[in-house]
């Protein structure tokens, strides 16, 4: 009795070939090592004289040889995403003014014009603290949930 070849079944199921999955994991690990400044395992992706002068069998190359071309392509992007040396719990707490949220989320909604005036008043109150780039985006879902986006040029966020 014959069955369907395993590679055909894997492709039909949308399963990526094992060699590509391994390659992806190697690249993700290399990027993780590259973005951290003091990871002890970072030496496995560093170039050394051994990787340049030794001959390796196909499939037995060191990880530094495998990922070097890819890391050269994404080097600029990786440097922008470097992990901070300061742990997140050491950052200063940011004070957030939640007055407008309290006004909007009350069960008995106020007139939208009043809310708009109050929002403009708060923007005027904090105008010296930061500037919000004008082209902002906001949307409302069918069930009334609201989302928004903004850009602050000073901190590129």
Q: What is the pLDDT of residue 136?
A: 59
For the four alpha carbons of 39, 41, 43 and 46, in that order, the dihedral sign comes to negative
Residue among 71, 69, 63, 27 nearest 45 (CA): 63
pLDDT < 70 regions, the chain: 78-83, 107-109, 130-137, 150-157
Asked if 154 and 144 touch (Cβ cutoff 8 Å), the reply is no
Q: What is the pLDDT of residue 35?
A: 80
88-121 pLDDT, tens digit per residue, is 778 777 777 777 777 777 766 677 788 788 888 8
Model confidence, pTM:
0.47
Asked if 69 and 87 touch (Cβ cutoff 8 Å), the reply is no
């Amino acid at each position: 009795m014959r069955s369907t070849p395993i590679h055909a079944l894997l492709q039909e199921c949308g399963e990526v070939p094992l060699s590509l999955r391994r390659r992806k994991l190697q690249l993700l690990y290399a990027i993780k090592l590259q973005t951290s400044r003091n990871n002890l395992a970072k030496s496995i992706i560093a170039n050394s004289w051994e990787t340049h002068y030794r001959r390796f069998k196909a499939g037995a190359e060191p990880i530094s040889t495998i990922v070097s071309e890819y890391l050269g392509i994404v080097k600029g992007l990786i440097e922008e995403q470097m992990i901070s040396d300061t742990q997140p719990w050491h950052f200063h707490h940011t004070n957030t003014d939640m007055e407008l949220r309290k006004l909007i989320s009350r069960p008995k909604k106020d007139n939208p014009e009043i809310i708009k005036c109050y929002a403009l008043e708060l923007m005027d109150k904090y105008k010296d603290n930061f500037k919000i780039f004008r082209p902002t985006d906001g949307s409302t879902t069918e069930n009334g949930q609201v989302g928004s986006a903004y850009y602050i040029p000073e901190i590129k966020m």
